[in-house]
């Protein structure tokens, strides 16, 4: 029986002699495990809604299966409803020259992976974004999926939590008739990371890019690009390399505020602060 500060079902049999705490975000406890097979990454998250870890595992496995060779996705070593053990990534102290452009090209290749319908990667997986449950059943209608299954439910949650003024919900309904225009030209369902901020893209000591901590689903690639732009950290070289490999539809920059509404509303619900105001500002920009 393990004496490590991790559930036994995650570490028993791995030969782990030490678990060193490392940064794990705002809800997770993360560790470097020193094992007989080398270092591994482990994290646990308290009070996860049922199925949440299964969604992350499905995303990691889908991304690992389809990512181009130069883009790494860690192997899932073991997982349970409360935590996960992954291949260890030795991060570089500084991103080397060319890493941003390489990431842009790799992401463009990943976004050429298409599925049969928008929604969950696998039947039966629960739909979640942050702490909110969402309908991820398959659909052919991306514009309606984005508005009715993501933006509207998250707006309701933010208003009910007092994180955003009710006026924002009114602004959203003013824009709702333009949902198809705001979602952009139709594209096939695309494998998206789903939470692509700079902290979920790593570069290792060999200069290889990696994707971690996905909320992957079959969606629209502009959702990943909008998330990348929301918090920054990817650089102009990255976006230019992406566009050269897989050009975006005209007007995509004008659609960024629409695609940024889900993450802004999630952050408003979870953290408050200025995220509600940022979501309202996005709606006002779209209204013109």
Is 195 considered catalytic here? Answer: yes
CA angle (63 as vertex; 246, 251 as ends), nearest 5: 30
Residue 17 is encoded by which pair of tokens? 């002699």
- CA torsion 167-172-175-181 (nearest 10°) is 150
The catalytic residue among 12, 47, 174, 195 is: 195
- Distance in angstroms (rounded) separating the CA atoms of residues 274 and 56: 28
Q: Is the dihedral of CA 213, 215, 218, 223 positive or negative?
A: negative
Closest C-alpha to 95, from 246, 195, 214, 237: 237
CB 15 within 8 Å of CB 35: yes
- Measured CA to CA, the distance from residue 183 to residue 146 in angstroms comes to 8
Alpha helices for the chain (secondary structure H): 8-11, 52-66, 99-110, 142-144, 152-160, 166-175, 179-183, 221-231, 235-245, 252-271, 275-287
Which residues are part of the catalytic machinery? Answer: 195
């Amino acid at each position: 029986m393990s004496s490590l500060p991790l559930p036994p079902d995650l570490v028993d049999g791995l030969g782990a002699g030490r678990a060193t705490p490392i940064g794990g975000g705002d809800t997770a406890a993360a560790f470097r495990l020193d094992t007989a097979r080398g270092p591994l990454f482990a994290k646990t998250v308290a009070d996860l809604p049922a199925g949440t870890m299964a969604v992350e595992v499905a995303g990691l496995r889908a991304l690992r299966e389809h990512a181009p060779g130069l883009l790494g996705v860690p192997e899932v070593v073991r997982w349970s409803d409360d935590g996960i053990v992954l291949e260890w990534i030795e991060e570089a102290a500084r991103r080397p020259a060319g890493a941003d452009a390489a990431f842009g090209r790799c992401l463009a290749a990943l976004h050429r992976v298409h599925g049969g319908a928008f929604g969950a990667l696998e039947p039966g997986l629960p739909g979640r974004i942050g702490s909110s449950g969402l309908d991820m059943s398959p659909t052919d209608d991306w514009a309606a999926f984005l508005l009715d299954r993501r933006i509207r439910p998250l707006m309701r949650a933010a208003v009910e939590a007092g994180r955003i003024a009710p006026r924002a919900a009114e602004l959203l309904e003013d824009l709702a008739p333009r949902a198809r225009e705001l979602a952009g030209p139709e594209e096939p369902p695309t494998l998206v990371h789903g939470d692509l901020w700079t902290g979920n893209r790593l570069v290792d000591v060999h200069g290889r890019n990696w994707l971690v901590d996905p909320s992957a689903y079959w969606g629209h690639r502009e959702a990943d690009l909008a998330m990348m732009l929301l918090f920054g950290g990817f650089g102009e070289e990255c976006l230019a390399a992406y566009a050269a490999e897989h050009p975006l539809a005209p007007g995509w920059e004008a659609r960024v505020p629409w695609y940024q509404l889900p993450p802004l509303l999630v952050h408003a619900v979870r953290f408050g602060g200025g995220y509600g105001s940022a979501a309202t500002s996005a709606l006002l920009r779209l209204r013109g």
